[in-house]
Structure 1
Amino acid sequence: MSIIIMLFSGCSSQASLQYADDKSDFLIIQKIEQQYQVWNKTPYRYGGNSLKGIDCSGFVNNFYNQKLNMLIPRVTTDQLKVGESVSQLKAGDLVFFKTGRGTTGMHVGIYYKNGNFLHVSTSKGVKFSNLNEKYWKERYIEAKRIVS
């Protein structure tokens, strides 16, 4: 198991976040890859919930419901209230970001592996991004693990 330690800095504080890519995450990783295969390049659409367009919380909600048979809230701010906070990420954990103002200024994605997460970009649709990218580092809030 390899552990990479990353420091994320926000506007006023620093949070330490680690990710451990473990071979036991193989099944979740496969499910994330399957989700990507189906939804790849599906465009972002606020409130959307289909292959014609979907928003970040709808995408996460769909993944948990369809691939993991778990019901979680539909809205990002409500998703942030469930699960347990974690600092060592595993595949399937939710990663949250503050990307704007108010409740619509929240963003969520699904941790994959090697610092990458799957999400819905407002400009490029469903895609992988890396937590180490400056944009995401500066906006990272918290990670949550949903337990059944």
Structure 2
Amino acid sequence: MKKFVLSLFSFVLVIAFSGGSVFASQNDLNKAIDEVVGTPYKWGGTTTSGFDCSGFILYIFNQYETKLPRTSSSQSKIGEKVEKDDLRLGDLVFFNTSGKGVSHAGIYVGDGQFAHSSSSKGVRISKLSDKYYAKRYVTARRVVSGENYADMINEGHESEDDSQVLEE
């Protein structure tokens, strides 16, 4: 029993400190988000030195040539409305955290989770079912489609180095 507990503890330490991704499935969107998880919150922030919630969304979606309005409230009015049960990777989710309408937003990443810049913890992954967010959920919008969406969900696309043919 002692060996089992020791082995289990060692396994947990390896996983905890391996620097592995937050995401099990590494598509382009999840990789882009994973690179900024832990970035601190900064009111009005749109760069990797600090993000507010809508600035985080702008930063990620700019990588997929998708232009969005600056604020979470205005972002919640564009695109196609999506029911909570029909969410797909990359949909935007919106919350009323101020009591005055949409005041917080995130990006749906699958498995009932969303990425966002929390004012208390910076960029992180949370569950839509977390009591705090479940009570404050307002709506979701789909703002990416076509080629931009294909780029966003692309898993393991080739880099320039991968596509080069070695000549003899």
Normalised to the residue count of structure 1, the TM-score between the two structures is 0.74
Alpha-carbon spacing, 1:124–1:65, altered in 2? closer, same or farther (3 Å): same
Distance of 2:118 and 2:42 partners within structure 1: 10
Aligned residue number for residue 122 of structure 1: 119
CA distances 1:51-92 after superposition (whole Å, capped 9, x unpaired): 1111000111111111x2111111111101100111110000
Match of 2:91 among 85, 93, 96: 93
> Which of 29, 32, 39 is the equivalent residue of 1:35?
32
Deviation, 1:147, is 3.8
CA distance in 2, matches of 1:101, 1:43: 24
Question: If each structure's helix is expressed as a fraction of its own residues, which one has the higher value?
Answer: 2
TM superposition shift of 1:130: 0.3
Q: Which has the larger radius of gyration?
A: 2
Q: Given the alignment of the two structures, is residue 62 of structure 1 paired with residue 59 of structure 2, yes or no? A: yes
Contact 2:66 2:144 in 1 (8 A): no
Give the C-alpha shift of residue 37 in structure 1. Answer: 2.6
RMSD of aligned alpha carbons: 1.8
Structure 2 gap ranges (5+): 1-24, 146-168
Q: Confirm whether residue 82 of structure 1 aligns to residue 89 of structure 2.
A: no
Q: Quick one: percent identity of the two aligned structures? A: 42
Alignment TM-score, normalising by the size of structure 2: 0.66
Give the paired residue count: 119
> Do structure 1's residue 51 and structure 2's residue 48 form an aligned pair?
yes
Q: What does 1:105-120 correspond to in 2, within 5 Å?
A: 106-120=103-117
Q: Which runs of 4+ in 1 moved over 4 A?
A: none
Once the two structures are TM-superposed, the CA of residue 102 in structure 1 deviates from its matched residue by 4.0
SS at match of 2:57: helix
Q: Which residue of 1 aligns with 2:140?
A: 143
Q: 1:36: Cα distance to partner?
A: 2.4
Higher RCO structure (Cα 8 Å, ≥6 apart): 1
Unaligned runs of 5+ in 1: 1-27
Query: Which protein is richer in strand relative to its size?
Result: 1
